[in-house]
Amino acid sequence: MPAYRPEEIEKKWQAHWKAHRTFRTENHSDKPKYYVLDMFPYPSGAGLHVGHPLGYIASDIVTRYKRLRGFNVLHPMGFDSFGLPAEQYAIQTGQHPALTTEKNIETYVQQLSSLGFSYDWSREVRTSDASYYKWTQWIFLKLFNSWYNLDTNKAEPLTELTARFAATGSEGIRAAGDDGDRLSFSAGQWALFSEKQKLAAVLPYRLAYQQDTYVNWCPGLGTVLSNDEVKDGLSERGGFPVERRLMPQWNLRITAYADRLLQGLDQLDWPDAVKEMQRNWIGKSIGAEVTFPVQGSETAQIKVYTTRVDTIYGATFLVLAPEHELVDELTTPGQRAAVDEYIAATKRRSERDRMTDVKAVSGVFTGAYAQNPVNGAPVPIWLADYVLAGYGTGAVMAVPSGDQRDYLFAKHFNLPIPAISDAQQGLDQQADPTKEGRYINSGIINGLTYKEATQKLIAFLEEKGLGKGKVNFRQRDAIFGRQRYWGEPIPIYYKDGTAYGIAEADLPLVLPEIDEYKPTETGEPPLGRAQDWLYKGKYPYELSTMPGWAGSSWYYLRYMDPTNEARFVSEEAEHYWGSVDLYMGGAEHATGHLLYARFWYLFLKDLGLVSSNEPFQKLINQGMILGRSNFVYRANLSFTYTPKPGRSVEINPEAIPTLFVTKSLADSFLSEDAAKKSAAIEAILSWYNNRISSLLNKYPDAVFHATTAEDLSITPLHVDVSIVENDLLDMQAFQKWRPDYRFAEFIPEENGTYVSGWEVEKMSKAKFNVVNPNDLIGKYGADALRLYEMFLGPLEQYKPWNTNGISGVSGFLKKLWRLFHPEDGALAVTDEPATPAELKVLHKAIQKAQEDIEKFSFNTSVSLFMITVNELTALKCHKRAILEPLVLLVSPYAPHLAEELWQELGHEPGSISTAGYPEFREEFLVEDTVTYPLAINGKVREQMQFAAAATAAEIETAVLASDFLAKHGEGKSAKKVIVVPGRMVNVVV
């Protein structure tokens, strides 16, 4: 057998696995089940870089390990294939998004397969396939036709609600949502309602409902964007301006599940940081809803929610969101222009910017006043963009003495800041939110404690009909519509302006073909371009599509039964697989996908369609692999010229190069050491003056304008890491890399090399530090890449990438190969019995490798394998009794090499996946001898070896019989010998 050649071995086994469907999983088995899930990728045109597979490699190691441990393992893969990038490409090129997506998926499948992942590809799902999104639409219809009963604390079909309307009317029905949006009627009135009136009465109860909602509207993209898709008031994709706009939108009533989503976190084996992010996002608080009547109006009133009703006497102003429904009514003529200008400016800021910008203070007075409900005092009404219409009531009771943001606002606009507690301190500098002390300047609660005051005020407000105690949540209902083409059509049609769900038998509602993928000329979403796209040939469809998170909220269930045409997942398959045992993915999905998926699962649980309590039992967030960027240093020189008087001149661009200086010269130029800086400037200007001289000789009719030392600067520029090796730039490749560098020249090191700079930062195409796994697989092999990514550090931590390090892992695999093929020759494994030393090395490895995988500590396992191979190499071990278990240990990490060696050892090709994991036997780690430190009066003098089974008496006898006391006892006799078993011996003299 020749030397280890991963390029041959890996292709061979990947083809074998595919042909024999080695990793196909059945939905029934006598083995215990284990479900390993990766967050499936969006297939971008760029494909995978080396940072992407980190979590996939880790989950594949666990998958292969669990199979060896006797589990029936489900490990699927698919693609989150709807999305805005493909649609934007379609708008630019006219190519259908499906074609782009299909091509990108082919690239991803090739890359994932080349890494040797043991996916059951027969279960692949794609969210953009109609056979898949049929069931996404089906779940939406279930939400549309359900309401949340607060008495039973679960979702129920609307038919049960309408049956209660028919029997007793709306009285006594407790449902999630805003009671203020609902009608009050008797059973008799319900019976007299028309169909349209009944549907209108039911709408505020639905879990999927339409409502005018403030959204991030991006005119440039023609769609609504999520907060995550907006950065600094611009769309993340394309950099188009984004504004807040009130639009009719589909919403899902996730707020109905807020309490259950909170409680369920306690049962999950998830990172604490992720659980805390969800708790903060849901934001449960216990407080009071208070009504402030508007002065001069018989009907207008402002409701605020506060967790500190005890501070109400210190409320010196109200702050409304600029989008608040009463703004137009409240604004006085004298303030109209200022208010309109402020609202226009607010529209240009995203919600995230408004929430996170705690330094800037801005606002505008409406000119109107409210009345404090506890003392009748006038309260000025302001607008400020730090209040959001969709949070709570869109209004804040501002207490500047107790809230820092209110304090800064009051200071900025010179509003009063009265103290309300005798324990407040430093109000001339900042707010003090203390709950200690007793209240002052506070009417009916003067002298009371926080608890006493809170109870008394809530009772007072409820008695007067001006407030009530209330539990509130920061979380809002989820906007579910996007005004774009490449997404799931929402299965709704309209009759006389009323929304109806299409019949389940008519699913899927397939995306229609359209001529362009941008909004219509009249501002309708792209689906408005569809010709004759009508339900039953006469009713218009909803023109919005579902958001990207719709298909990803339940895909893990479809993996269980991906080809079922009659049900989204069969009862048998769902009961067998239950919830996901291990979910691997990024922490950036904490308050998006992970929260929405839990919400959908709880809803399906309410309908009796799933059997567990939560979808994902254990979650691991892999850290990011950071790129190692390289830099070249451009010297900014002024090669300007003018013709001599009366002459004309045309200079070849090649004659005026761009100069790049090596890192040591750039460092000297940027140094604070004056001598180093001066020498660097002299070297660069010397090169420059020589170039000027040669140009003058070549172009005598030109006058060249010189750069001075004061004009000189150096700019570091990212360079493609593929043309840098060990920080040495391939200068010829650099000149070919970009047209504008074709004539680049260099001042190199003294040895003629150009040393580039480097920095660890996020991998990005813009930084040219993306490393394609295909390149590394071609050079080192997939097994080396898998091992190296695990070797970089603990899975959850961020870690820098350095391509140079992979060669060491490649060397390890060659060393492992040579245990079986000494000197890269023929297989030389023997059947000789193993020695105690060899067995000790093996079983130390078995014990540690098993512990490491169970703890998801993969980097320490790679180190362990290296140590183990080194020790066995030193022992010249080529014995089957040692090497066969070693192959099994390594197989989850380096599966291709393990398969090859397993076959060479005489096993059925491809059978390593079904072999058992090596059994750890502790007796092989028991030492035959123990080395004891020997001490005189506690001071260690030397060491002595004893049999591990020696008794204390035997050890004492042996020590006294030796020359130890004669050498170190200074002629004194032993008073006592203390033997600490397995630790030490102390002779007291």
Q: 172 with 128: CB under 8 angstroms?
A: no
Q: 136 with 127: CB under 8 angstroms?
A: yes
Tokens 């005004």 correspond to what residue? Answer: 483
Note the maximum CA span of the chain.
117
Q: CA-to-CA distance for 641 and 787, rounded, in angstroms?
A: 57
Which 3 state secondary structure label does DSSP give 168? helix
* Amino acid code (one letter) for 49: H
Which 3 state secondary structure label does DSSP give 757? strand
Q: CA-to-CA distance for 459 and 867, rounded, in angstroms?
A: 72
Output helix, strand, coil percentages for the chain, rounded to the nearest 5. Answer: 40, 20, 40
Find the helix or strand (DSSP H, E) in which 890 lies: helix 880-890
* Amino acid code (one letter) for 811: G
Q: Strand ranges (DSSP E) for 62-150?
A: 72-74, 146-149
Q: CA-to-CA distance for 343 and 245, rounded, in angstroms?
A: 11
How far is CA 300 from each of CA 292, 296, 390, rounded to the nearest angstrom? 9, 9, 19
Provide the CA 967 distance to its chain's centre, in angstroms.
67
Q: What number of CA atoms fall less than 13 Å from residue 651's CA on the CB side?
A: 22
Q: Strand ranges (DSSP E) for 846-965?
A: 929-936, 939-947
Q: CA-to-CA distance for 544 and 705, rounded, in angstroms?
A: 61
How far is CA 326 from each of CA 188, 275, 338, 472, rounded to the nearest angstrom? 35, 37, 16, 22
The β-bridge partners of 209 are 251
Q: What number of CA atoms fall less than 13 Å from residue 912's CA on the CB side?
A: 31
* Amino acid code (one letter) for 247: M
Q: Based on the number of CB atoms within 10 Å of its own CB, is 414 exposed (0-12), middle (13-18) or buried (19 or more)?
A: exposed
Residue 698 annotated as binding? no
Convert 143-172 to b/e letters by CB count within 10 Å (16 or more is b).
Answer: bbbbbbbeeeebbbebeebbebbeeebbee
Order of strands across the sheet that contains 301-306: 301-306, 284-293, 467-473
Long-range CB contact pairs, 857-862, < 8 A, 24+ = 857/794, 857/795, 858/58, 858/61, 858/790, 858/795, 858/893, 859/790, 859/791, 859/792, 859/793, 859/794, 859/795, 861/790, 861/893, 862/787, 862/790, 862/791, 862/809, 862/893
Phi and psi angles of residue 36, each rounded to the nearest 5 degrees, phi first: -105, 125
> Which residues, in sequence order, are CB contacts of 415 under 8 Å at separation 6+?
316, 317, 380, 400, 409
- Going by the DSSP 8-state scheme, the letter that residue 421 receives in this structure is B
Q: 768 with 684: CB under 8 angstroms?
A: no
CA gyration radius, the chain: 36
Given phi > 0 = left and psi -120 to 50 = alpha, else beta, which region is 725? beta
Q: Which residues fall in the annotated binding site for ATP?
A: 765
Q: Which residues fall in the annotated binding site?
A: 765
